[in-house]
Structures are given as structure tokens and as C-alpha cells.
């Protein structure tokens, strides 16, 4: 078991966990390549730093969109290169626990499995992202007591109510953190006639972004290209302006949380009312987001320590269930949903 690994192949970041060392890698899910030859130039952090800065024949892009693979070959190259950084043994290739969004098709699941299997792993086990986040947040999902988790990342927001190791009700929202970045780009272009990149939009969101009226107005300097003159120009935007750009996306996620609650059995709703809703993922740290959920849902919101790592930590904690998944006579409640 010491050679087995867990993989969070996220839209924004890819994280790797080993049973021996815990989380060992966390890099952007970006690949840069030569558009003419398809030769890989860089992956991870190095490729991320190239976004918006490459010459014409070089592309730097995310090969996953909304939690699913949009470019199969690039995902293979991404996973292979990142695992190579770990110096994984070629003789004892690991078994892998990988997370997937809750509402993807069998074809999309198979694409994830094939991309990981292509580098020579022995077997791939899948776990739904919401389950992994709940386990990583320290929630007990195998009891008859209901828990609610909302894992809000870059590509998707996975929301689920879990009891007895299974999902009682769930929803996967395809517009999350990355969509907010795009909305900021559109807002700035429309209001200020200034073209900016998604990296600038993301940095503004992380620095001064909020989804509730700010107590103290903060500012951020954006640099880009003037839409009229084509010349460089900079502007100063406020927290309230960023909020105006991203609020609708945030509210849509909260409405989805409410929808999942409406579809949950009453007994489990009672458990959630007592314990509260746990939120994880990078977007859980967005200023005012927990307060917005509390105000709409009228239920307390809990944020675990290191919310961005909940999914990968949950995948890692699921590695011991590999043996039970391989044992057809096992009767324990297993969070792993499928093995390939």
C-alpha cells in the first residue's frame, strides 16, 4: 500500500498524495506545447506562468473544463509529467485513487481513467469529489447521520448530502471560480474598454474579491490593452466592482445548495440544521461567501482547515479502502465508487 497514490485532477490545480508522505505535489493543471509539432514544453507552475505570454505557435492552456477532460492527449501528458516529478518506480507502478465530479457521464469517467492508466498504473479507483471533500474535512460519512458538503473549486461546485457512505442528494454546478474570472474580464472590457487576461482577473478576485458589500473598500490596479487605441493602460478597480461582476455566479451556487437541501429527506435535513453546512475548495476563502450562504440558507457554515486540500486529503484517506474494493466479500461501507 505504501506505493499507492491519490490524484485530484482538478480543473485549476492537480494535487498528488502518497500514502507514505501525504500531499507531495500541488501545481496548476496547465500544459504548454508547440501548436505545430504538439511537443510539450512545460506543465504545471512553469506552464501557468506562460499563460497570456506565449508567441503565436506556443499554446498554454487548461486541458480540463468544468471538471471534465477537453483535451485527452494533454491530460495524459500532464499526469505523466507530474508523476515523473515524484520519481515513481517503473517496476512497481501504483494503484491510484482519483476523484471525479458527481454528475459526469460514464464516458467522461472512462476518459479520466484512460488518461491516468495510459502512464502504466496498475488500477484506477474513483471517488466522487463531494465524498472526498467530506472525508478530507474530517466529516464522518459512513454513519446514518447526514452531512452536507459543498466543494467549490475553479471548474465546478460539487454539492452533496451524504449518509451511510452514499449520496442522498447532490448537484454539480459547472460555473464556479474560473467562470467568475471570465465574468471579471467581460465586466472590465464592457465598463472600461480595457482588455485584460484571466490571470489578472483571477489575481483581482483573490486580492480584493467579495460577494457581500465590503466593510472597507479595497482597490486593485489592472493593466491591459486599451480597446480603442490598442495602447497599454491601467485602471484602478474596487471591491464593489469585482462583487458586481461575480455576484450572480456566487448566488447561483448558493441557489444550487438550496436546491440540494430541498431534495434531501427530512431526517437528514434535521441533522444538517444541527451541524451546519461544510464548504471547501478554493472559492470557500472568497470574502463574504460563507456569510452569503448563511444569510440565504439560515444555517451555520463551517470551513475546515486548509479547505483547498480537502479533496486531495480525502482521496488520500481513501487509499486504505483499495483492498476492500478488491475483495468481493467485503461488507464494509466503501467510499470508492468504481474500479477500473
Answer whether residue 29 is part of any domain: yes
Answer whether residue 208 is part of any domain: yes
Domain of 190 in residue numbering reads as 142-303
Asked if residue 165 and residue 17 are part of one domain, the reply reads: no
Asked if residue 324 and residue 181 are part of one domain, the reply reads: no
Residues 6+ apart with CB under 8 A from 154: 10, 11, 12, 13, 176, 177, 178, 282, 283
Q: What is the pLDDT of residues 92-111, one digit of tens each?
A: 678 899 999 888 888 888 88
Asked if residue 279 and residue 157 are part of one domain, the reply reads: yes
Answer whether residue 85 is part of any domain: yes
Answer whether residue 34 is part of any domain: yes
pLDDT attached to residue 53: 87
Q: How many domains does the chain have?
A: 2
pLDDT attached to residue 87: 66
Asked if residue 274 and residue 178 are part of one domain, the reply reads: yes
Q: What is the pLDDT of residues 158-178, one digit of tens each?
A: 999 999 999 999 999 999 999
Asked if residue 15 and residue 37 are part of one domain, the reply reads: yes
Q: Crossing angle for the helix pair 289-297 and 239-262, nearest 10 degrees?
A: 40
Q: Give me the CATH number covering residue 289.
A: 3.30.420.40
Higher per-residue confidence, 121 vs 312: 312
d(CA 75, CA 69): 7
Answer whether residue 242 is part of any domain: yes
Answer whether residue 45 is part of any domain: yes
Asked if residue 185 and residue 52 are part of one domain, the reply reads: no
Answer whether residue 263 is part of any domain: yes
Among 183, 113, 157, residue whose Cα is nearest residue 258: 157
Q: How far is CA 302 from the centre of its chain?
A: 18
Q: What is the pLDDT of residues 133-158, one digit of tens each?
A: 999 999 999 999 999 999 999 999 99
Asked if residue 102 and residue 59 are part of one domain, the reply reads: yes
Asked if residue 288 and residue 316 are part of one domain, the reply reads: no
Asked if residue 237 and residue 160 are part of one domain, the reply reads: yes
Asked if residue 111 and residue 197 are part of one domain, the reply reads: no
Concatenated DSSP letters of 277-332: EEEESGGGGSBTHHHHHHHHH-S-EE--SSGGGHHHHHHHHTGGGHHHHH-TT--S
Asked if residue 154 and residue 287 are part of one domain, the reply reads: yes
Answer whether residue 137 is part of any domain: no
Cβ proximity of 30 and 59 under 8 Å: no
| pTM of the shown model | 0.90
Asked if residue 43 and residue 114 are part of one domain, the reply reads: yes
pLDDT attached to residue 1: 42
Amino acid at each position: 500500500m505504501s506505493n499507492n497514490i491519490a490524484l485530484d485532477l482538478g480543473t485549476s490545480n492537480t494535487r498528488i498524495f502518497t500514502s507514505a508522505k501525504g500531499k507531495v505535489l500541488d501545481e496548476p493543471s496547465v500544459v504548454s506545447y508547440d501548436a505545430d509539432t504538439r511537443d510539450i514544453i512545460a506543465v504545471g507552475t512553469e506552464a501557468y506562468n506562460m499563460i497570456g505570454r506565449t508567441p503565436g505557435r506556443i499554446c498554454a492552456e487548461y486541458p480540463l473544463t468544468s471538471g471534465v477532460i477537453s483535451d485527452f492527449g494533454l491530460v495524459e501528458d500532464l499526469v505523466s509529467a507530474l508523476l515523473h516529478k515524484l520519481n515513481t518506480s517503473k517496476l512497481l507502478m501504483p494503484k491510484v485513487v482519483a476523484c471525479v465530479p458527481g454528475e459526469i457521464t460514464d464516458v467522461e469517467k472512462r476518459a479520466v481513467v484512460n488518461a491516468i492508466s495510459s502512464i502504466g498504473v496498475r488500477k484506477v479507483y474513483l471517488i466522487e469529489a463531494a465524498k472526498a471533500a467530506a472525508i478530507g474535512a474530517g466529516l464522518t460519512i459512513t454513519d446514518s447521520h447526514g452531512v452536507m458538503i459543498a466543494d467549490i473549486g475553479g471548474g465546478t461546485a460539487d454539492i452533496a448530502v451524504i449518509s451511510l457512505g452514499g449520496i442522498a442528494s447532490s448537484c454539480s454546478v459547472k460555473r464556479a471560480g474560473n467562470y467568475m474570472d471570465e465574468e471579471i474580464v467581460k465586466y472590465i472590457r464592457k465598463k472600461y474598454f480595457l482588455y485584460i487576461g484571466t490571470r489578472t482577473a483571477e489575481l483581482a478576485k483573490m486580492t480584493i474579491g467579495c460577494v457581500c458589500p465590503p466593510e472597507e473598500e479595497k482597490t486593485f490596479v489592472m493593466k491591459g490593452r486599451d480597446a480603442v487605441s490598442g495602447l497599454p493602460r491601467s485602471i484602478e478597480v474596487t471591491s464593489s466592482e469585482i462583487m458586481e461582476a461575480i455576484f450572480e455566479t456566487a448566488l447561483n451556487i448558493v441557489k444550487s445548495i438550496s436546491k440540494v437541501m430541498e431534495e434531501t429527506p427530512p431526517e437528514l435535513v434535521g441533522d444538517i440544521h444541527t451541524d451546519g453546512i461544510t464548504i471547501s475548495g478554493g472559492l470557500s476563502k472568497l470574502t463574504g461567501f460563507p456569510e452569503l450562504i448563511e444569510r440565504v440558507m439560515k444555517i451555520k457554515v463551517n470551513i475546515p482547515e486548509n479547505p483547498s486540500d480537502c479533496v486531495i486529503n480525502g482521496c488520500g484517506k481513501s487509499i486504505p479502502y483499495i483492498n476492500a474494493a478488491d475483495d468481493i466479500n467485503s461488507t464494509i461501507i466503501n467510499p470508492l465508487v468504481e474500479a477500473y
